[in-house]
Structure 1
Amino acid sequence: MNTYMRRAALFAAAVSLATGLAACGSAKQSGDSTGSGSGGEDGALTIGLLLPENQTARYEKFDRPLIEKKVKSLCPDCKVLYANAKQDASAQQQQVDTMITKKVNALILDSVDFKSIAGSVKKADAAGIPVIAYDRLAEGPIKGYTSYDNEYVGKVQGKALLDALGGKASKGKIVMMNGDKGDPNAAFFKRGAHSELDGKVEIGKEYDTVGWAPDEANKNAKGAISSLGKNNIVGFYSANDGMAGGIITALKAAGYSKLPPVTGQDAELAGVQRIITGDQYMSVFKPYKPEADAAAEMAVTAARGEKLEDVATDLVDSGTNQSIPAVIITPVELTKKNIASVVSNGLYTVQEICTAKYKDACDAVGLQP
């Protein structure tokens, strides 16, 4: 079980540093090779970057470019080798082997399956390659970790759903659509949500969604509606926006005159647009830049053989290791009331959100160019 040892002043300083340093260039964009390993002929460092899947929009749109940009700002001669596992744990293990063969100087790893990747982390460690766990706390001898307070994410979602239900909480059942069991964060989201929901609302059905797949969430939502009866369902807990989209499609197909509240996470563009129209009640906005900056800074620091404790502001425990240096970032609830925050924080422009289809809804919430 993770335990967070908060050091608030240091954390604030680190986030300020991570978001304040100026960027100067971006890494080359290619599938899984943007440079050679072992530092290259010019002695520059090589950082490996392995992301878990591409169904969730954030990884290719935000995480990858932000990490690559920050690495280059910290180390202009550094190179980044990138690969995406596309939700295949075996493929990711092979990608780690490739990174070891190419002799990267540090590896940023967002695991598909936090347990099965442990052997690969051990291989990298044995090869002298420090592994920084990104977004998901992988098992094995990782050297550092950066993510959000994931149990708090679940609490935010659960509380928001109760707020949306109000007096209806006791007049029906909710359906819980949790994430993939192979993702350790899913367990924290689930635990946090249950801590808010248990005893306050009846949970009619609960699912662990393979691969976080919207299609799987859609199928499960249809099953729940058929089993419980649409008039008996007052709300849906969805652990992320992609699944929320699948759930909402099922709700509309079932003929609801007014959709029950649906939660989400990640502030995906489609999720933001659904919040504006009222189809989705909320999401959780997790500022990607501080997390990406922290991962890049930890990787470059580790690659240089310097102490991660100088970068980290927290300590966490994994299933296999204790007191891992970490940077833990606090997420933000996103509803219609503060929807403009995704614009002010640079996540999207008004033009990206407010296409012709959403113009009236944007006008109603005060989002205008």
Structure 2
Amino acid sequence: MFSKLTKGLLAGSVAASALMVAGTASADGMVALLLPENVNPRWEQQDAAAFLATMAEIAPDVQVEVFNANNDTAMQQRQAEQALTQGAQVLVVIPIDGESSAIIADTAAEEGVPTIAYDRMINSQNTAFWIQADMFATGAAQAQHVVDNTASGDTLVLLRGSPTDPNAGVIADGQMSVLQPLFDSGERVLGYANWTPGWDPAIARRSMDQALTQLNNGVQGVVSSNDGNAGAAIASMEEQGMAGTVPVSGLDCTVQAQQLMLLGLQTQCGWRPLHEMAAAAAHVTVRLLNGADYSDLATEVVQNGVGADVAFVPVDSYSAVGAEGVAYVIENDPSITREMVCQGEAAATEFCQ
């Protein structure tokens, strides 16, 4: 299922403890990894951990500075400026906002520093690379799962992502590629839809509460754009005695999401090999530091929101469903173990026995 690029990038597993490995200052340079927030645990526990581990392996003398902007676009811009002042030679940025983050890439370019857009596109003429899976296909898979587990005339709720995250719009477009024809024909009914600023589960929870109130609990499926939204929807439905009776999609396959899947509360999550995405970012980063050719890594070119051609490093994805999906993720994701998933209520499930 993995691309030729990602198959060749990693030879071993990545431990979460790699977050403690940040490299040491040296003449070989410094790079900065700019995280968007800590609401979603993946950024620090998976993406940053894998990036640091790979950098420690392939370029141990390169200093890596990690910043977290806590969903504050102005703070992320200041962190980028701080990194450049400290001498960063490459910026790896997960933007909070694909539009406003353009100033980061533009400012870096003025100093001759390339910017890699990781996971989320940066809409700048100066974005050097983009590393991501096919988020349109991911959204389509989420919607198709919910459609496959509902009936004609059923009412669906759509809990979309953050309106400033360019991925959220692509995911939503993928979902609607499946759902719009069904809404138009009446095969499914759009009962409620809302965006989730900052991917904040508290906001998603309020949205789901509103949906259940407005629809008098008449909801048969939840197309959730990520696991945080899914968990919020499930918590809302638990109060109404509905959890476990309604298919709920997600994205990222966090440990909590996999536990919910084993309990039959969340039914699907889109999984991407985040360790491979982060490793790809590290390999591109080192090529840029060394002034080496990178055409074998960036195998495609895409256009971003301002029409700039951006070298694209594609990564595949997988739609995990039920216990079989959990087993697949555990087998293929080095940051998640069976022991981590089989905790709490999930420990009593057949999967964990």
Q: Do Structure 1 and Structure 2 share a fold, with TM-score over 0.5?
A: yes
Residue 29 (1) aligns with residue 16 (2): no
**Mapped partners of 1:350, 1:12: distance in 2:** 25
Residue 226 (1) aligns with residue 208 (2): no
- Aligned counterpart, 1:248: 234
Residues 89 and 289, structure 2, Cα contact 8 Å, conserved in 1 = yes
- Aligned counterpart, 1:148: 133
**Mapped partners of 1:208, 1:23: distance in 2:** 33
Q: Which shows bigger deviation, 281-290 or 319-328?
A: 319-328
**Mapped partners of 1:287, 1:103: distance in 2:** 31
3-state SS of 1:145 partner: strand
**Mapped partners of 1:314, 1:274: distance in 2:** 36
CA 1:257 to 1:210, structure 2 compared with 1: closer, same or farther past 3 Å? closer
- Aligned counterpart, 1:180: 162
Q: Scaled by the length of structure 2, what TM-score is found?
A: 0.92
The Cα offsets for residues 130-172 of structure 1, whole Å up to 9 and x where unpaired, read as 111000011211111101111011011011111111xx2x233
Residue 13 (1) aligns with residue 4 (2): yes
Q: Scaled by the length of structure 1, what TM-score is found?
A: 0.88
331, 341, 347: which one aligns with 1:344: 331
**1:359: Cα distance to partner?**
2.3
- Aligned counterpart, 1:332: 318
240, 246, 251: which one aligns with 1:260: 246
**Mapped partners of 2:122, 2:282: distance in 1:** 17
- Aligned counterpart, 2:305: 319
267, 282, 285: which one aligns with 1:281: 267
3-state SS of 1:320 partner: coil
3-state SS of 1:284 partner: strand
Residues 248 and 267, structure 2, Cα contact 8 Å, conserved in 1 = yes
Percent identity between the two aligned chains: 26
Residues 299 and 311, structure 2, Cα contact 8 Å, conserved in 1 = yes
165, 177, 197: which one aligns with 1:195: 177
**Mapped partners of 2:296, 2:148: distance in 1:** 40
CA 1:21 to 1:247, structure 2 compared with 1: closer, same or farther past 3 Å? closer
CA 1:255 to 1:27, structure 2 compared with 1: closer, same or farther past 3 Å? closer
- Aligned counterpart, 2:185: none
- Gaps in structure 1 of 5+ consecutive residues: 1-7
Q: Which amino acid in 2 is paired with 1:280?
A: Q
- Aligned counterpart, 1:204: 191
3-state SS of 2:258 partner: helix
CA 1:34 to 1:261, structure 2 compared with 1: closer, same or farther past 3 Å? same
Q: Which amino acid in 2 is paired with 1:143?
A: A
3-state SS of 1:220 partner: helix
CA 1:154 to 1:269, structure 2 compared with 1: closer, same or farther past 3 Å? same
3-state SS of 2:288 partner: helix
**Mapped partners of 2:320, 2:14: distance in 1:** 28
3-state SS of 2:191 partner: strand
97, 100, 104: which one aligns with 1:116: 100
Residues 34 and 82, structure 1, Cα contact 8 Å, conserved in 2 = no
- Aligned counterpart, 2:49: 65
**1:21: Cα distance to partner?**
6.9
**Mapped partners of 1:257, 1:287: distance in 2:** 29
Correspondences of 1:87-98 after superposition (within 5 Å): 87-98=71-82
**1:325: Cα distance to partner?**
1.1
**Mapped partners of 2:18, 2:107: distance in 1:** 26
Q: Which amino acid in 1 is paired with 2:179?
A: L
CA 1:127 to 1:21, structure 2 compared with 1: closer, same or farther past 3 Å? farther
3-state SS of 1:309 partner: coil
The Cα offsets for residues 245-276 of structure 1, whole Å up to 9 and x where unpaired, read as 11111111123275311110100111000000
The Cα offsets for residues 166-185 of structure 1, whole Å up to 9 and x where unpaired, read as xx2x2331010000011000
- Gaps in structure 2 of 5+ consecutive residues: 183-187
**Mapped partners of 1:135, 1:325: distance in 2:** 13
Number of aligned residue pairs:
344
3-state SS of 1:206 partner: strand
Q: Which amino acid in 2 is paired with 1:186?
A: A
Residues 144 and 308, structure 1, Cα contact 8 Å, conserved in 2 = no
